[in-house]
Amino acid sequence: MNFKGKLAIVTGGSRDIGKAISVRLAQTGANVVINYLNNEEQANKTLSEISEAGGEAIAVKADVTKQDQVKQLYAEAQKAFGPKVHFLVNNAGGLVERRTLGEMDEAFFNYVMSLNMNSAFLMTQEAVPAMDKGASIINIASLAGRDGGGPGASAYATSKGALMTFTRAMAKELGPQGIRVNSLCPGMISTTFHDIFSKDEVRAKVAGSTPLRREGRAAEVADAVAYLCSEQSSFITGVNLDVNGGLFFS
């Protein structure tokens, strides 16, 4: 894979899976825009790691659930690396908090949907006019979008399911322009997401139930992203690709 001179934008790109994706695409030669919202320190660490490896990247703070900030993100990306966008990775998102149906209010549900789904919509809408034939959009969905998620994760699972359907719809709509759209559905990946939201005993049980008998690594998700950006996957679009060690077969 040689993405020399191509522009990749990674939302939520400063830590965990987003960081691994940012670093992996930079390793292939892409110019990377690392979007972050709250963790400037981690974004700068990711920048340093890319720079030390000889890559080119900038970090841009933006709330990608807000259209005006999305537009500013693209303006800064294009000012730094030129007008064309070759790869967009919609990774920003989160569970926020585990809440049952009775514990949720409308504001919470709408916030989770906006964080995981609306952000991808806004970023995709802004990217497409700057994309040419051969461009690739990858949405980071979740196994939760397939199986409904764990306890208290219904809003998160619903938003990721919506993102998977959006992926299919955009694959059909943008395919005639030569733009491919796919998503990844990670299972139990060893990240701070599960450090925060999953109990140790639950993680151990899930890992033990996985055919490969372990959690996944962020770098393994990043490798799948690089593949879906590459010409090696040139006839793959509309796919929700499982990266779960065999925990769930779709």
Residue 166 clears pLDDT 90, i.e. is over it: yes
Confidence of residue 62 (pLDDT cuts 50, 70, 90): very high
Catalytic residue among 36, 74, 111, 156: 156
Tell me: the pLDDT tens digits for 210-226? 999 999 999 999 999 99
For residue 138, what are the CA distances in angstroms to 54, 105, 222?
Answer: 25, 30, 11
| Amino acid 88: pLDDT | 99
156: annotated active-site residue: yes
Question: Can you spell out the DSSP letters for 66-125?
Answer: SHHHHHHHHHHHHHHH-S---EEEE------S---GGG--HHHHHHHHIIIIIHHHHHHH
Tell me: the pLDDT tens digits for 69-97? 999 999 999 999 999 999 999 999 999 99
| Amino acid 122: pLDDT | 98
| Amino acid 193: pLDDT | 72
Is-contact 53 29, C-beta < 8 A?
A: no
Q: Which domains does the chain have, with CATH numbers?
A: 7-241 (3.40.50.720)
Whether the model clears a pTM of 0.85, i.e. scores above it, the answer is yes
Residue 219 CB contacts under 8 Å (≥ 6 apart), including other chains: 20, 24
| Region label for 246, one of left (φ > 0), alpha (ψ between -120 and 50) or beta (otherwise) | left
CB atoms within 10 A of CB 39: 14
Strands lying side by side in the sheet with 31-36: 56-61, 31-36, 7-10, 87-90, 136-140, 180-186, 240-243
For residue 86, what are the CA distances in angstroms to 49, 54, 64, 243?
Answer: 22, 20, 19, 23
Confidence of residue 198 (pLDDT cuts 50, 70, 90): confident
Instruction: Give the phi and the psi of residue 86 in degrees, each rounded to 5.
Output: -100, -35
| Region label for 2, one of left (φ > 0), alpha (ψ between -120 and 50) or beta (otherwise) | beta
| Amino acid 197: pLDDT | 67
For residue 97, what are the CA distances in angstroms to 11, 163, 192?
Answer: 20, 19, 14
